[in-house]
Amino acid sequence: MALRGELRLTIRSEQGRTRVAGAYCAGPLKVIRPFELPEGRVVLQVLHVGPGLLGGDELEVQVHVGPGAKAVLVSQSATKVLRTDRGDGARQRVVLTVQDGAELEYYPGLVIPFAGASYRQVLDVRLEGAARVGMLEVVALGRTARGEASAFRSLSSRLRVWHEGQLVFGDALELTPNLRDPRARGLLETHRYVGSGYWRWGDVPEAMVVRSDLLLACGRTGYGDVYVKGVAADGERLREAVRELVGGWRDWCGAAPSYGRLPVPHG
C-alpha cells in the first residue's frame, strides 16, 4: 500500500535565539529534537522511518524560516528508493520558504535508487529580501557495489529558486537508463555519483576541484549566486571534496563548526 508522508516546520527567531515554533509529522517522516550550534543556528535532523520509498509513495516537506532565524536541515540517513513494478514511482516535493534576514542550510544527503526503482523530486526554494540559503545533494546511480549501476527505471530531480517571485536559478537531473545509459561516452561514463549545490549567501567565494576520479566545479549565476556541479567514480571521494568546499565557505562566513562536523550521513 502506498504511503503519504508529510513534514511541516516553522522556525522563528525569538529574543535573538532560533526556535522551532511549530512541527507536524505524518507517515514515515519524523524530525529529531533540534540542537543549537555555537553561532546561534539550530540543526534539525529529518529521518524516514521504514526500509525506503516504494512505488506510489508521496512525501511532502514544507519548511518556513522566519526573519532572523538560522537553521540547518539535514537527513539522518540516505534516501533509499526501492524497486517498484507499478507504473507510478515514488515522489517527493520540498518547499523551503526563507524570509528576509533568515538563513537556511539544506543537506538532504544521498539518494540511492535500487534496481527497478523510479523516483521524482521537485524542490522549490522561495526567498524574500536578504534571505540566505545554501544546499547540496548527492545522487548515486544505484547500489553499485551490488552490480546495480544504472539499473533503476527513472530518476528525476528538479530545483527551482525564486527570489521575490522571480525565478533566479534552475537545475535538473533526468536519467532514464532504458532510453539512454548514463554511463555512455560523453555522459557520466565511469562516474557513479552526481552532486549539485546552490548558495545565495553574500559574496561566496568560488572554488574548483579536479582529480583523476573526480570533477567538482563551481560557477556564478547572473545574479551573483554560486552553484556547484560534480561527478565522481567514488562516493567517498566526492564526499570529501564536498566537505572541503562547503566547510571552507562556512568557515569563511563564520558559521562554525565546519560542514565536516555536522551530522550529515555517509550514505
**Does residue 252 form part of some domain?**
no
pLDDT at 263: 40
Task: For residue 101, give its domain range.
Answer: 4-184
Per-residue pLDDT tens for 190-204?
888 898 889 998 776
**Does residue 24 form part of some domain?**
yes
**Does residue 215 form part of some domain?**
no
**Does residue 206 form part of some domain?**
no
Q: Give the model's confidence band at 40: pLDDT under 50 very low, under 70 low, under 90 confident, else very high.
A: confident
Quick one: residue 260, left, alpha or beta (phi over 0 = left, psi -120 to 50 = alpha)? alpha
* Long-range CB pairs of 214-218, under 8 A, 24+ apart, other chains included: 214/238, 214/241, 215/191, 216/241, 216/242, 216/245, 218/245
**Does residue 257 form part of some domain?**
no
Grid cell locating 56: 506510489
Per-residue pLDDT tens for 162-187?
999 999 999 999 999 988 888 777 77
What's the residue count for the chain?
267
pLDDT at 212: 65
Task: Pick the closest to residue 1 from 57, 50, 43, 73 (CA basis).
Answer: 57
How many domains does one find in the chain? Answer: 1
Q: Is the pLDDT of residue 4 over 50?
A: yes
Alpha carbon distance 11, 159 (integer Å): 22
Q: Residue 139 belongs to what H/E stretch? A: strand 132-140
pLDDT at 91: 95
**Does residue 154 form part of some domain?**
yes
Angle at 120 between CA 63 and CA 26, to 5 degrees: 45
Task: State the average pLDDT over residues 9-33.
Answer: 92
**Does residue 216 form part of some domain?**
no
Q: Give the model's confidence band at 208: pLDDT under 50 very low, under 70 low, under 90 confident, else very high.
A: low
**Does residue 98 form part of some domain?**
yes
Task: State the average pLDDT over residues 214-235.
Answer: 85
